[in-house]
Amino acid sequence: MHTRNRITVIGTGYLGITHAACMAEVGHEVLGLDIDADKIRQLNHGELPIHENGLDELLRRGVVSGRLRFTTSFQEAAEFGDVHFLCLGTPQRTDSSAADTSQLDAAIDALAPHLTRACLVVGKSTVPVGTAERLNRRLIERAPAGDAINLAWNPEFLREGFAVKDTLSPDRIVLGVRTESAERTLRAIYAPLGDIPTVVTDFATAELVKAAANSFLATKISYINAMAEVCEAAQGDVVALAEALSYDGRIGGRFLNAGIGFGGGCLPKDIRAFTARAEELGAGRALSFLREVDEINIRRRSRAVELARELVGGSLAGRAVAVLGAAFKPDSDDIRDSPALAIANAIQEEGGLVSVYDPVALDNARKAYPTLGYAGSPTEAAQEAHVTLLLTEWSDFVELDPEEFGSVVADRNVVDGRNALSPIAWRAAGWNYRALGRP
């Protein structure tokens, strides 16, 4: 029998909702907190404000069982919780490439005055190294219980689209701790997940592991996209090249899908924040390659626009352009730094008449890019289109029948931005098929 802990989760965005629902699922008593009162109202009704596979079911189950509740009150959270998880956003600052950690500061400032007894505060957000140390001081200074309060840093590695699975069966757990009791408490909280490799370390290393992991993943994607650029110059095929690399166990095949590159609320901002922080620490040279990783990634978006331009014979102005996909990846409604929408927007800026379709991300896309055209289905987006771009590899798009789909377009021109379609099948159906890094 595992111990039940009384946990709060502060910040109920993509990470926080998942963490809260999964912790309730494994038996803990959980109180989620957010400053967004509408979101809290929705969550208390068991309604999920985001799209994440399997999470709606966990949320409903947690709410119905009474083990999962939500509030906007920091006082209630402080009274309820023995362990407080911080899942606040750390977006890119508007005035530099560094991370904005002000949501964490604000949450600590709101929580600390109510902390009148010993408890554990656990940071899960992705932060610049040194943040845990700074927040620890801030917490102890502001909380009536002072240094009876423990801080730990426990970075999160879940992927959107697989968030529930990644939380319930993580590859590893990293605990940045200063006391044995913090380690014991966190081990007890995660015990119901089973025997998960656990690395216990200091604050700085825990913060750095997260930045290092996302930088490695971003580098792997930009590496294969750099190979795609060379393939384009040399008439090679990056998909065959990646397959050949994948059989080498030292390289591995995952995260070698060439295309329009990485987006989302994490990889792009995290490599920039890591570089900025390393520069502050005088270690900027060590990470100068991450600037190149970023540039290769952004160049791929321009290349997709170029391919569309070539297919319509030189200018996209006045041309009808179907864009399949708005989310930064399939199985998510997240459009933060979405390559698909950046490309759609660039085409519109050139005078293209863009119509975007996505199975779940259209509402978010409309808010962020209100001037783009939107459609209610792939075929509606593609009506009389001169060129179609596949930019998010939703299975609905990958499974399109090129013959049937071709009957609605003006011209059978397609840019496969994710190397997800079969060139043989699409060419056989009379499409001019172009992809990044392939002849």
Ligand X SMILES: O=C(O)[C@H]1O[C@H](OP(=O)(O)OP(=O)(O)OC[C@H]2O[C@@H](n3ccc(=O)[nH]c3=O)[C@H](O)[C@@H]2O)[C@H](O)[C@@H](O)[C@@H]1O
Task: Name 285's Cβ contacts closer than 8 Å, sequence gap at least 6.
Answer: none
Question: How do 83-86 and 6-10 pair as beta strands?
Answer: parallel
Pick one of ligand NAI, ligand X, none as the site partner of residue 123 (Cβ within 5 to 8 A by kind). none
89 binding ligand NAI? (CB under 6 A): yes
Closer residue to ligand NAI in complex, CB, 331/393: 331
Asked if 157 is part of the footprint of ligand X (rule: CB under 6 A), the reply reads yes
HEC secondary structure over 91-153 = CECCCCCCECCHHHHHHHHHHHHHCCCCEEEEECCCCCCCHHHHHHHHHHHHCCCHHHEEEEE
CB of residue 300 vs ligand X: minimum separation in angstroms? 8
Size of the residue set binding ligand X (CB under 6 A): 21
Please provide residue 353's backbone torsions phi and psi, each rounded to the nearest 5 degrees. Answer: -100, 95
Among residues 160, 294, 331, 416, the one that binds ligand X under rule CB under 6 A: 160
Question: Catalytic: which of 22, 119, 231, 266?
Answer: 266
Q: Would you count residue 32 as binding ligand NAI (CB under 6 A)?
A: no
Identify residues 199-228 at the interface with ligand X (CB under 6 A): 214, 217, 221
Alpha helices in 169-321 (DSSP H): 180-190, 203-234, 238-246, 267-280, 289-311
Which of 90, 126, 222, 413 touches ligand X (CB under 6 A)? 126
- What are 119's strand-pairing partners? 149
Q: Are 47 and 12 a contacting pair, CB within 8 Å?
A: no
Phi, psi of 329 (to 5 degrees): -160, 165
Separation of alpha carbons 249 and 228, rounded Å: 21
Does residue 92 belong to the site contacting ligand NAI (CB under 6 A)?
no
Spell out a b/e string for 373-388, using b for 16 or more CB atoms within 10 Å of the CB, else e: bbbeebbebbeebbbb
Q: Is 91 in the site for ligand X (CB under 6 A)?
A: no
Does position 14 bind ligand NAI by CB under 6 A?
Answer: yes
Near ligand X in 50-69, by CB under 6 A: none
Separation CA 322–CA 382 (nearest Å): 5
Q: Is 329 in the site for ligand X (CB under 6 A)?
A: yes
Answer yes or no whether residue 35 interacts with ligand NAI by CB under 6 A.
Answer: yes
| Rounded least distance, CB 143 to ligand X, Å | 28
Query: 131-142 and 102-111 helices cross at what angle (nearest 10)?
Result: 20
Question: In whole angstroms, how close is the CB of 166 to ligand X at the nearest point?
Answer: 7
Q: How far apart (Å, rounded) are the C-alpha atoms in residues 4 and 243?
A: 46
Task: Select from 68, 88, 143, 382 the one that contacts ligand NAI (CB under 6 A).
Answer: 88
Query: Per CB under 6 A, which of residues 150..169 are in contact with ligand NAI?
Result: 156, 158, 160
Using CB distances below 5 to 8 A depending on partner kind, what does residue 16 bind out of ligand X, ligand NAI, none? ligand NAI
Neighbour tally for 39: CB within 10 Å: 20
Tell whether residue 15 is a contact of ligand NAI (CB under 6 A).
yes
Of 84 and 386, nearer to ligand NAI (C-beta) is 84
Q: Is the dihedral of CA 422, 423, 426, 431 positive or negative?
A: positive
Of 253-312, which residues contact ligand X (CB under 6 A)?
A: 255-257, 259, 261-264, 266-267
87 is catalytic: no
Q: How far apart are CA 390 and CA 423, in angstroms?
A: 13
Residue 289 binds: one of ligand NAI, ligand X, none (C-beta under 5 to 8 A by kind): none
Contact region with ligand NAI (CB under 6 A), list: 4-12, 75-83, 276-284, 300-308: 4-12
Distance from C-alpha of 345 to C-alpha of 340, rounded to nearest angstrom:
9
Sites for ligand X among residues 386-405 (CB under 6 A): none
| Residue 267 interaction partner, one of ligand X, ligand NAI, none, beta carbon < 5-8 Å per kind | ligand X
Place of tokens 């216990």: 200
Which positions lie near ligand NAI, rule CB under 6 A?
A: 10-16, 33-36, 39, 87-90, 103, 106-107, 125-126, 156, 158, 160, 265-266
Q: Which residues are catalytic?
A: 266
Which positions lie near ligand X, rule CB under 6 A?
A: 126, 156-160, 214, 217, 221, 255-257, 259, 261-264, 266-267, 328-329
